[in-house]
């Protein structure tokens, strides 16, 4: 990409972010950041046993924080190489498995799953596997982009090669950890509530977020998308969320 085009995109991103500051606060909360900095923290306790699903080379809890908590962390990922490239000491044990097929050991206090389930073809099977990792009373903490988001619909429509090129060209920082194929199977707040119940879990807490950065590269497009999100939310409520977090407690 030419320096001029890169500068143009950066200017548009700054302008889009400035426009967002005019919106109510609940339209500006970034889901990924809120999940990492606020949603998960209140569930962490000394001596907690954690199943980190899909963390791979980027575990949710770093080695230093793990030591502070006295936590035991099992990394579960479909890729053996991702697990092997995790920082030393981040995991106490690793399991290379497809979360849609994994048979858990029902001993975890917490299961943390951030931006993983949109990449799973059968989310219902994944829910049963997640429940299988937890002891009764344990909690699954899940963050996921919604199938109803405009960017998710485009992701499903565009050819893989084209969408990866667009994503990595416009947002080059995404090249190292984004671009995996997405399916968004039943990835909506309503569907997750149903799947939780079918897997022996209940919703303890849910947060819904109405912001994403995918259209910030072009201010007019970003503003049209913003208008759509506001309108869609008025019609569909939380089903209009771009992303959402859920805490699901295993009861059976």
> Within 13 Å, how many C-alpha atoms sit on residue 40's CB side?
22
Question: Distance (Å, rounded) from C-alpha 124 to C-alpha 186?
Answer: 8
CA distances from 228 to 147, 167, 182 (A): 15, 22, 23
Question: Distance (Å, rounded) from C-alpha 210 to C-alpha 230?
Answer: 9
* Predicted local confidence at residue 180, as pLDDT: 77
Question: Distance (Å, rounded) from C-alpha 89 to C-alpha 148?
Answer: 38
Measured in whole angstroms, the distance separating CA 37 from the mean position of its chain's CA atoms is: 13
Q: What is the pLDDT of residues 200-236, one digit of tens each?
A: 999 999 999 999 999 999 999 999 999 999 999 999 9
Euclidean distance between the first and final Cα of the chain, in Å? 54
Is the pLDDT reported for residue 178 higher than 70? no
Task: Output the six-digit token pair for 61.
Answer: 């809890």
**If one looks up domain 3-250 in CATH, what number appears?**
3.40.50.150
Task: Output the six-digit token pair for 86.
Answer: 């995790």
Average pLDDT of the residues in 20-39: 96
CB distance 216 to 12 below 8 Å? yes
Average pLDDT of the residues in 36-43: 94
* Predicted local confidence at residue 118, as pLDDT: 97
Q: Is 50 helix (H, G, I), strand (E, B) or coil?
A: strand
Provide the pLDDT confidence category of residue 3 given band limits of 50, 70 and 90.
confident
Provide the pLDDT confidence category of residue 126 given band limits of 50, 70 and 90.
very high
Is the pLDDT reported for residue 181 higher than 60? yes
Question: Distance (Å, rounded) from C-alpha 122 to C-alpha 168?
Answer: 27
Is the pLDDT reported for residue 176 higher than 60? no
Q: Where are the domains of the chain?
A: 3-250
Q: What is the pLDDT of residues 128-139, one digit of tens each?
A: 999 999 999 999
User: H-helix or E-strand containing 45?
Assistant: none
CB distance 75 to 83 below 8 Å? yes
In the 8-state DSSP scheme, what is residue 68? Answer: H
What is the DSSP annotation of 137-163? EEEEEEEEE-TTSHHHHHHHHS-HHHH
Nearest to 212 by CA among 203, 204, 221: 221
Instruction: Find the angle CA(78)-CA(83)-CA(88) to the nearest 5 degrees.
Output: 165
CA distances from 206 to 58, 124, 135, 192 (A): 24, 19, 21, 10
% the chain with pLDDT above 90: 86
């Amino acid at each position: 990409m030419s320096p001029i085009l890169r500068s143009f995109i950066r200017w548009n991103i700054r302008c889009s972010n400035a426009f967002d500051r005019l919106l109510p606060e609940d339209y500006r909360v970034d889901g990924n950041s809120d999940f990492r900095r606020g949603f998960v923290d209140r569930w962490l306790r000394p001596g907690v046993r954690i199943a980190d699903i899909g963390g791979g080379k980027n575990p949710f809890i770093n080695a230093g924080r793990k030591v502070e908590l006295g936590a035991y962390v099992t990394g579960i990922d479909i890729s053996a190489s991702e697990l092997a490239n995790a920082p030393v000491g981040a995991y106490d044990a690793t399991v290379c498995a497809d979360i849609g097929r994994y048979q858990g050991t029902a001993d975890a206090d917490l299961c943390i799953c951030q931006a993983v389930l949109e990449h799973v073809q059968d989310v219902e099977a994944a829910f049963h596997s997640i429940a299988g990792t937890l002891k009764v009373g344990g909690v699954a903490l899940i963050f996921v982009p919604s199938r109803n988001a405009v960017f998710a619909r485009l992701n499903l429509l565009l050819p893989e090669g084209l969408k990866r090129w667009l994503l990595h060209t416009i947002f080059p920082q995404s090249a190292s950890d984004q671009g995996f194929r997405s399916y968004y199977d039943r990835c909506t707040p309503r569907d997750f509530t149903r799947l939780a119940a079918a897997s022996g879990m209940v919703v303890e807490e849910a947060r819904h977020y109405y912001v994403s950065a995918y259209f910030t590269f072009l201010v007019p497009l970003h503003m049209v998308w913003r208008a759509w999100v506001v309108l869609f939310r008025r019609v569909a409520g939380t089903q209009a969320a771009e992303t959402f977090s859920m805490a699901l407690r295993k009861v059976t």
